Amino acid sequence: MKPISRRKLITTGIAATAGLAGVTVAGHLARRYGLVPPDCGGIYGPGETLTYAAQRLLTTHSLAREFPRSMISKSPFANATPPANDLFKRHQANGFSDWKLAVDGMVLHPTSFSLADLRTFPTHSQITEVACEEGWSYIAEWIGTPLINVLNTVGLLPQARYVAYFSIDKDWWESIDMADALHPQTLLTTGMNDGDLPVGFGGPLRLRVPRQLGYKSVKYITRLTVTDSMKSFGKGLGSAEPEFGYSWYAGI
């Protein structure tokens, strides 16, 4: 073993100090520019933060791939059975006529929208792919109004950083950052393939987030909450998924 020279020792010391300072500064900058996901803690935090930061730097404004009508899947896969709770069954029994979407949190005018109210917004349709984290996928046409229309109507407060959204199924809630919430393809979906959105695919109301994996497109949503921090929601990891061990950001 060669003895370490003084020059080498000093060089290494300076490099280590500079590296540490660099990481600290990078951390501060990342926080300021919203590059740190709510599930940034734990042993997988560094990788998750790198992924989210890289996506926010590269893909904040990009549009999810859209497909020609001919590529719409003949056999889309619903994956899950509808919620078994009584509340949902009652809604289903009367044709979802009383279904409401409550929008609250950091907004000027907290409002509750019926499905009929939502249909008065400008309609948009997109033919995008649902990709499940398991590996399978299908393409469908999704019809509804971009979330940004509803957010503009209720009026976002400037502190808004996340939109949390909740299913009638208590175990399923998610959140997205403003980049995705204000994205033109993030769609409050009420129709699919020229018809009403079937229950199996999230009907009557599903939030489609086509730049992320399927589990971010929560089915049966009843509430949107605009917030500046996800700390007070559940375990503070951003959504229900990290509590089951899955990452909050699912754009990969």
Partner 1 sequence: MHGLYSKRQPCVLPDVSEELNHPTPAARTTLANHARWTGHRFPITTAESFSNRVCYAARVAAGSLPDPQAPRHTALVRVTHWITVIAFFALLISGAEIIVSHPRFYWGEVGNVLTPPLFTLPIPASRGTVPTAYNYVMPDQNGWSRYLHFQAAWALVFTGMVYGIASLLNGHFRRNLVPAPGDRSWRAFWNVIAKYLRRAPPDEVEAHSYNVMQRTAYLGVIFVLFPLIIWTGLALSPAFDSAFPLAVAALGGRQSARTLHFFVSGFLVLFLVVHVAMVVLSGFTSRMRSMITGHAPVRAAARPVVGPVVTEEVDHT
**Cα 7 from Cα 26, distance rounded (Å):** 28
53 contributes a contact to partner 1 by CB under 8 A: no
Q: How far apart are CA 238 and CA 177, in angstroms?
A: 10
Distance CA 101, CA 92 (A): 15
- Give the phi and the psi of residue 107 in degrees, each rounded to 5: -130, 155
User: Per CB under 8 A, does 4 bind partner 1?
Assistant: no
Helices (H) and strands (E) in the chain, counts: 7, 10
Shortest separation between residue 61's beta carbon and partner 1, angstroms:
9
* In the complex, least distance from residue 78 CB atom to partner 1, rounded to whole angstroms: 10
- Asked if residues 106 and 161 have their Cβ atoms less than 8 Å apart, the reply is no
Q: Using CB under 8 A, pick the residue from 129, 184, 223, 234 that binds partner 1.
A: 129
Q: Is 213 in the site for partner 1 (CB under 8 A)?
A: yes
When asked if residue 252 is in the footprint of partner 1 (CB under 8 A), the reply is yes
If one asks whether residue 75 binds partner 1 (CB under 8 A), the answer comes out as yes
Q: Is 246 in the site for partner 1 (CB under 8 A)?
A: yes
The yes or no reply on residue 139 touching partner 1 (CB under 8 A) is yes
Contact 205, 197 (CB under 8 A): yes
Q: Which of 22, 47, 95, 195 binds partner 1 (CB under 8 A)?
A: 47
Round to whole Å and give the CA distance between 249 and 57: 14
Site residues (vs partner 1, CB under 8 A) = 43-44, 46-48, 50-51, 55, 58-59, 62-65, 67, 71, 73, 75-77, 79, 129, 131-139, 210-213, 241, 244-247, 251-252
